[in-house]
Amino acid sequence: MTMSPKPFQEESDALNRKVGLGLSKIGQAIRSQAWKGAGSQGLTPTQGQVLAVLAGIQADQPGLRLAAVAEALGITRPTASEAVGTLVRKGLVAKGPDPKDSRAVALQLTAEGRRQAAEASLWPDFLLAAVDDLEVAEQQVFYRALMKMIRNLQQRGQIPVSQMCVTCRYFRPGVHDDPLRPHHCAFVDAAFGEKELRLDCSDHVAAEPPLQELNWSRFLESAVTPQNDP
C-alpha cells in the first residue's frame, strides 16, 4: 500500500468541519433529550422552553411580555403566542396586566407552572456528566471557545442576545495581576476568574458597541489560567 506523503493533511484541514459535526451531534442529543423531557410532561420543547424563560423571573417581579419571550427564545411571535396559549389553557401560565403599561399583558408562571419549569430545567443535566469527564483546564478552554461562538452567532443574529459578561458595561477584562482572578465586575466591585464569567446575568447592562469591541479584544488578550475548585 502506498502512503501519501502527508497522510493526515486532509484530516487536519477539515478540523473546523469536525468541530461543527461534533457540535451538531451534541445538538441532536439535546433535542432528543428535550423531546423526551417535554413529552413526559405532555409539553412540546418550545412550551418547555417558554416555561424555563418565565421561571427566570421572580414570583414578585413583573411578568414578561410575549415579545420578550419570543426574543429570548429566538422564535417568532406567532410561535410564542401558540405555545403560551396552550400553557395558559393547561393552567401553567397566567396573563396579567403589565405594571409598566396597563394596556399590555404580562406573562407569569402559576404555582403548577413553577413546579413543571423546575423539572424542565433539569433536561440539560445529562450533559453535565459528559462535561464532568473533562479536566478543569479543558473545561475552561471549552468555555472560552463557547463564548466566542455564542458571541459570533449573536452578532450574526442567529441566536438571541444573552446577558454575557463580555458584552456588559461593568466588565473590566484582564485588569488584575492575579492570574486566577484577572477580570473585574464594576457592578459588585469584585475581581473574578474565567470560571465565574456569566452567560446570563440579571445585573447585565449592555455596553455601547465601541466599549464591547474594546473589552472583547482585551478579553482575548487575557490568558486562560486553569482554576482548581477550592
Give residues in contact with ligand SF4 (CB under 6 A): 163, 165, 168, 170-171, 185, 187, 198, 201, 203-204
Query: How far apart, in whole angstroms, are the C-alpha atoms of residue 200 and residue 11?
Result: 36
Q: How far is the CB of 186 from ligand SF4 (least distance, A)?
A: 7
Q: How far is the CB of 60 from ligand SF4 (least distance, A)?
A: 21
Residue 96: C-alpha distances to residues 67, 109, 153 (Å): 15, 11, 34
Which residue lies nearer to ligand SF4 by CB, 123 or 219? 219
Which residue lies nearer to ligand SF4 by CB, 53 or 165? 165
Which residue lies nearer to ligand SF4 by CB, 11 or 200? 200
Which residue lies nearer to ligand SF4 by CB, 126 or 187? 187
Beta strand pairing call for 171-172 and 101-109: unpaired
Which residue lies nearer to ligand SF4 by CB, 123 or 171? 171
Q: How far is the CB of 206 from ligand SF4 (least distance, A)?
A: 10
Residue 53: C-alpha distances to residues 61, 162, 202, 210, 224 (Å): 14, 12, 13, 30, 31
Characterise 38 by phi-psi region: left (phi > 0), alpha (psi -120 to 50), beta (else): alpha
Query: How far apart, in whole angstroms, are the C-alpha atoms of residue 193 and residue 3?
Result: 47
Query: How far apart, in whole angstroms, are the C-alpha atoms of residue 176 and residue 194?
Result: 13
Q: How far is the CB of 153 from ligand SF4 (least distance, A)?
A: 18
User: Do residues 174 and 183 lie in contact, with contact meaning Cβ atoms separated by under 8 Å?
Assistant: yes
Q: How far is the CB of 24 from ligand SF4 (least distance, A)?
A: 29
